[in-house]
């Protein structure tokens, strides 16, 4: 079972994405900001894909990416940036971009494209 | 005129000194000055130098005879019309007479001369000369008089127009009129109005020690110098908006227009300028720009806030549709379905709260927010609110400490005061997550006092008033949700109840929001 880490500060979005992905058969972990996500990476099995929101309190998406890409064990995890601002999303060179408001179809396509 | 009479000159031309003597004798006793010439040449030189009333000219002379002399006299401009009387011993034949008239003679006298006829004829021409001189003199006087009169009128007009100009210039309320000499870098004139506008007297301005530039706003100095240089070169008007430091230390904004004035006679030029005080305009412009910026920021926040709940709602619906399409609806655990529906339900509430806030603001702006007062026990109201916001407090990991005096009762709009308390507690969960929130209700004299104290980052003094304005918040939007309307709405509600709301805070030391409301007299209620 593929594991997906969702990093998103809005609780309702985070939970809803987790629910729909679980129904699709993924195993899901979640974090409300970059700092929580780094904790999750440290303590658990590494995810197969990371869904990342950029604008978050405590630790934003940019700082989180710096950590993940600077670390050999995490640098290769595919990143999908979920953002309302396509310019911002493209500027950090993720493996895929899902625009907000999130459409289930495009979310699943992005994940399936990377999980294959 | 008396003077002139004595100066009347008669030229007598004869090669015989005895004849000249005879003429002299004949014309003695009149106010004539007799000028003698012993030849045609001498006569011509005299005619060049002077005006004569009449010339008595002998016809028979050696070298230049009378006729030749007469013709040459006519070539001299001032003597063109001087009457010439020929003196001759011959009784003229007709051809001889015609020759004389062609040469310019007006008359003949025959030798030996008859003294009475000589005197009479000379007298006629002298009188004629005098009359002509008179007319000429009168014309001259008239011209002089007219010239003087015109000069007087011009100078009077100039004075009037200068006074008018001065009145006009000094009367301009917001404008300062000035004349500047670019060579000496000095004002040669500046209207009195400058004293009221800048607080510096006219004398200070005209000293010419670079006063204007020195007191200009540092960021504008180069531009002020620039425009003066430009005006010297340019043919038209040049304009600039710039700031000047008043004696009070305040800033005055000027719009200055300058043009070059060149004086044709001397080639000298000056700069003429008008500086209008546009401080008020600038401030309005600034306020307007700020209002527009705040509105734009608000619109961007509002659209983000309104869009955020759409994502989970849409995901839930698309998820359910997909489950049906894939035929997995039956196999999905009920708990998952319930959790998804609960999230969607909370998102619909979230949307409706945002919309309520927007509606409240527009109602408040129109003064249409109504208060439905009823007897409310403040401690009970706070308990109710804590039940409503329990989830937010749990998520933010904010423990709640309460000190609630149950005797505090007032005539308030229950739902509106609830809204205030919800706003204050929600703010605490947003800005002081993970830290305890203290809520107290008490009496202070005849007032009910509600305090919500958090242990967050605190609020800088300069922001403490601003946060109660519409669309304002003390920190950047990025990390905190909400429309930035909560405190604005809270203050409006509290003020409609004739109460007050304020914040007591220091950066790094948390914030206490204190609401004071008029209340009913304290009662000893059983606790």
Question: Could you read off the pLDDT of B442-497 as tens digits, one per residue?
Answer: 998 889 999 999 998 888 888 888 888 776 665 555 445 677 788 888 998 999 99
Element housing B257 (H / E): strand B251-262
- Test the B interface: residue of A10, A14, A16, A102 with most B CBs within 10 Å: A16
Among A13, A55, A84, the residue with its CB nearest the CB of B478 is: A55
Alpha-carbon distance A25 to nearest alpha carbon in chain B (angstroms): 11
Q: Is it true that the peptide bond before B138 is cis, omega within 30 degrees of 0?
A: no
Residue B104: both structure tokens together: 């310019």
B-chain residue closest to A107, CA distance: B315
Q: Provide mean pLDDT across the span B204-232.
A: 87
DSSP letter (8 states) at residue B466: G
pLDDT at residue B425 in the model: 94
Alpha-carbon distance A18 to nearest alpha carbon in chain B (angstroms): 10
Q: Is A77 on the interface with B (CB under 8 A)?
A: no
> Above pLDDT 70, what percent of chain B?
95
Helix (H, G, I), strand (E, B) or coil at A6: strand
Q: Provide mean pLDDT across the span B32-52.
A: 92
Does position B28 have pLDDT exceeding 90, yes or no? no
Question: What value of ipTM does the predicted structure carry?
Answer: 0.86
Question: Could you read off the pLDDT of A59-102 as tens digits, one per residue?
Answer: 888 888 888 888 888 888 999 999 888 888 888 888 888 988 88
- Cβ contacts of B485 within 8 Å, gap of 6 or more: B357, B358, B360, B361, B470, B471
Instruction: Find the angle CA(B187)-CA(B188)-CA(B190) to the nearest 5 degrees.
Output: 70
> Above pLDDT 90, what percent of chain B?
40
Average pLDDT of chain A, as a whole number: 88
Question: Could you read off the pLDDT of B274-330 as tens digits, one per residue?
Answer: 999 999 999 999 889 988 888 888 888 888 888 888 999 999 999 999 999 988 888
For B462, half-sphere exposure in the C-beta direction (CA atoms, 13 angstrom radius) is 1
Does position B1 have pLDDT exceeding 50, yes or no? no
- Test the B interface: residue of A19, A57, A103 with most B CBs within 10 Å: A19
Helix (H, G, I), strand (E, B) or coil at B7: helix
- Which three-class secondary structure string do you get for B157-212? HHHHHHHHHHHHHHHCCCEEEEEEECCCCEEEEECCHHHHHHCCCHHHHCCCCCHH
pLDDT at residue B522 in the model: 60
Q: Is B312 on the interface with A (CB under 8 A)?
A: yes
Q: Provide mean pLDDT across the span B348-355.
A: 88
- Cβ contacts of B468 within 8 Å, gap of 6 or more: B487, B488, B490, B491, B501
Confidence of residue B523 (pLDDT cuts 50, 70, 90): low
Residue B77: both structure tokens together: 């401009």
Q: Is A55 on the interface with B (CB under 8 A)?
A: yes
Please tell me the distance from the alpha carbon of residue B186 to that of residue B207, in angstroms, as a whole number. Answer: 7
Q: Is B339 on the interface with A (CB under 8 A)?
A: yes
The number of angstroms, rounded, from the C-alpha of B256 to the middle of its chain's C-alpha atoms is 5
Residue B423: both structure tokens together: 């706003």
Please tell me the distance from the alpha carbon of residue B328 to that of residue B91, in angstroms, as a whole number. Answer: 162
Alpha-carbon distance A7 to nearest alpha carbon in chain B (angstroms): 15
Confidence of residue B526 (pLDDT cuts 50, 70, 90): very low
Residue of B72, B69, B63 whose CA lies nearest to B87: B69
Q: Is B330 on the interface with A (CB under 8 A)?
A: no
pLDDT at residue B516 in the model: 95
Count of CB atoms within 10 A of residue B358's CB? 15
Helix (H, G, I), strand (E, B) or coil at B129: helix
- Test the B interface: residue of A9, A14, A23 with most B CBs within 10 Å: A23
Residue of B269, B279, B214 whose CA lies nearest to B247: B214
Higher pLDDT, B472 or B244: B244
Question: Could you read off the pLDDT of B403-456 as tens digits, one per residue?
Answer: 999 999 999 999 999 999 999 998 898 888 889 999 999 998 889 999 999 998
Put simply, the answer to whether B308 touches A23 (Cβ < 8 Å) is no
Buried b (16+ CB within 10 A) or exposed e, B117-144: ebbebbeebbeebbeebeeeeeeeeeee
Q: Is it true that the peptide bond before B470 is cis, omega within 30 degrees of 0?
A: no
Q: Which residues of chain B are within 8 Å of residue A12 when distances are taken between CB atoms?
A: 309, 311-312, 343, 346-347, 350
Please tell me the distance from the alpha carbon of residue A15 to that of residue A30, in angstroms, as a whole number. Answer: 8
pLDDT at residue B499 in the model: 94
Tell me if B297 sits within 8 A of B479, measured CB to CB.
no
Put simply, the answer to whether B480 touches A102 (Cβ < 8 Å) is no
Helix pair A11-23, A104-115: axis angle to 10 deg? 60
Does position A107 have pLDDT exceeding 50, yes or no? yes
Helix pair B378-388, B414-431: axis angle to 10 deg? 50
Helix (H, G, I), strand (E, B) or coil at B272: strand
pLDDT at residue B7 in the model: 73
Put simply, the answer to whether A100 touches B318 (Cβ < 8 Å) is no
Q: What is the torsion angle, in degrees rounded to the nearest 10, for the CA atoms of residue B417, residue B422, residue B425 and residue B426?
A: -150
Q: Which residues of chain B are within 8 Å of residue A104 when distances are taken between CB atoms?
A: 314-315, 318-319, 322
Helix (H, G, I), strand (E, B) or coil at B418: helix
Helix (H, G, I), strand (E, B) or coil at B386: helix
Put simply, the answer to whether A101 touches B311 (Cβ < 8 Å) is yes
Confidence of residue B377 (pLDDT cuts 50, 70, 90): very high
Put simply, the answer to whether A23 touches B319 (Cβ < 8 Å) is yes
């Amino acid at each position: 079972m593929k594991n997906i880490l969702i990093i998103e500060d809005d609780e309702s979005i985070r939970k809803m994405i987790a629910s729909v992905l679980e129904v699709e058969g993924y195993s899901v972990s979640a974090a409300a900001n970059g700092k929580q996500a780094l904790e999750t990476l440290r303590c658990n099995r590494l995810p197969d894909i990371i869904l990342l929101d950029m604008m978050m309190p405590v630790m934003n998406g940019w700082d989180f990416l710096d950590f993940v890409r600077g670390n050999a064990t995490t640098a290769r995890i595919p990143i999908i940036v979920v953002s309302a601002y396509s310019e911002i999303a493209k500027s950090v060179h993720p493996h895929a971009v899902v625009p907000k408001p999130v459409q289930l179809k495009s979310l699943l396509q992005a994940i399936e494209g990377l999980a294959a | 005129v008396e003077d002139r009479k004595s100066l009347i000159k008669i030229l007598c031309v004869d090669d015989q000194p005895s004849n000249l003597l005879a003429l002299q004798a004949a014309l003695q006793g009149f106010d004539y000055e007799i000028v003698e010439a012993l030849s045609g040449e001498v006569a011509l030189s005299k005619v060049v130098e002077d005006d004569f009333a009449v010339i008595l000219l002998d016809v028979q002379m050696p070298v230049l005879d009378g006729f030749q002399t007469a013709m040459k006299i006519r070539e001299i401009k001032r003597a063109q019309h001087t009457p010439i009387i020929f003196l001759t011993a011959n009784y003229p034949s007709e051809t001889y007479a015609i020759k004389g008239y062609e040469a310019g003679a007006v008359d003949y006298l025959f030798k030996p001369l008859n003294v009475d006829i000589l005197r009479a004829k000379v007298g006629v021409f002298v009188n004629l000369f005098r009359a002509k001189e008179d007319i000429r003199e009168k014309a001259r006087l008239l011209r002089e008089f007219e010239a003087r009169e015109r000069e007087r009128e011009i100078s009077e007009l100039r004075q009037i127009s200068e006074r008018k100009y001065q009145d006009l210039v000094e009367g301009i309320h917001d404008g300062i009129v000035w004349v500047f000499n670019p060579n000496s870098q000095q004002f040669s004139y500046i209207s009195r109005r400058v004293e009221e506008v800048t607080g510096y007297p006219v004398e200070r301005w005209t000293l010419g020690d670079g006063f204007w530039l020195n007191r200009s706003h540092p960021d504008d100095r180069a531009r002020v110098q620039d425009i003066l240089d430009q005006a010297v070169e340019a043919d038209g008007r040049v304009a600039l908006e710039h700031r000047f430091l008043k004696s009070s230390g305040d800033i005055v904004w000027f719009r200055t227009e300058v043009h070059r004035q060149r004086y044709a006679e001397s080639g000298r030029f000056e700069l003429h300028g008008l500086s209008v005080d546009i401080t008020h305009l600038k401030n309005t412009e600034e306020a307007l720009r700020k209002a527009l910026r705040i509105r734009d920021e608000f619109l961007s926040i509002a659209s983000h806030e309104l869009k955020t709940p759409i994502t989970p709602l849409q995901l839930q619906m698309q998820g359910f549709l997909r489950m049906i399409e894939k035929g997995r609806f039956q196999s999905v655990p009920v708990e998952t379905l319930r959790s998804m529906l609960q999230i969607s339900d909370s998102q619909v509430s979230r949307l409706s709260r945002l919309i309520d806030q927007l509606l409240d603001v527009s109602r408040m702006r129109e003064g249409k927010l109504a208060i439905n007062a009823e007897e409310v026990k403040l401690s009970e109201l706070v308990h109710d609110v804590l039940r409503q916001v329990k989830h937010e407090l749990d998520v933010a990991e904010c423990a709640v400490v309460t000190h609630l005096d149950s005797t505090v009762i007032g005539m308030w709009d229950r739902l509106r005061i609830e809204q205030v308390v919800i706003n204050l507690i929600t703010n605490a969960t947003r800005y002081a997550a993970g830290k305890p929130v203290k809520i107290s209700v008490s009496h202070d004299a005849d007032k009910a006092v509600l305090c919500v104290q958090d242990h967050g980052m605190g609020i800088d003094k300069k922001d403490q008033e601003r946060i109660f304005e519409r669309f304002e918040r003390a920190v950047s939007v990025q990390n905190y949700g909400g429309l930035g309307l909560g405190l604005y709405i809270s203050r409006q509600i509290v003020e409609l109840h004739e109460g007050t709301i304020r914040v007591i805070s220091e950066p790094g030391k948390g914030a206490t929001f204190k609401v004071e409301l008029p209340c009913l007299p304290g009662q000893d209620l059983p606790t």
